Amino acid sequence: MIELSWLGVVLAIVAGMLVAFIWYQKGPIARAWEKLTGVTPERIKPVRAKSMVQLFITVIVMALGLAVAISVTAQATGNDSVGAALLVGLALWGAFSASTLVQHNAFEMKPARLTAINTGYQLLLFLVMSLVLGLL
């Protein structure tokens, strides 16, 4: 039976939203991302609310998916350590997020630096959320 820490899921959602806000705040990463995408605060303003709702929904889905994967892994291996949770997050990031984004960006001929920024964000997101879930 899959056992989820609902407190862990909620806190992972909060952590995921914080990672997104911090990663894309004014700073060198955000400036590089804006330059590479052409998406500026002014340009995104008309769709910001919709984008934030989509972000929130996807972070919820990620938190639930990670919680299930971490729980299944813990039950299958008998290892419910934080390290195991982080390994699950790393594996899911590599298998689904990074691999998909790299393929997508390559065929759309997007700059490698943009791919690095976005996969770096996703890696941090997966690991922070996995850490929270692993601790609870």
42-75 residue pLDDT tens: 888 898 899 999 999 999 999 999 999 999 999 9
Note the pLDDT of residue 26: 82
pLDDT of residue 70: 98
**Lookup result for tokens 């299958």:** 76
Only one residue has tokens 């039950």, namely: 75
- Which parts of the chain sit beneath pLDDT 70? none
How far apart are alpha carbons 34 and 112 in whole angstroms?
Answer: 14
- pLDDT score for 65: 98
**Cα–Cα dist 29/117, whole Å:** 7
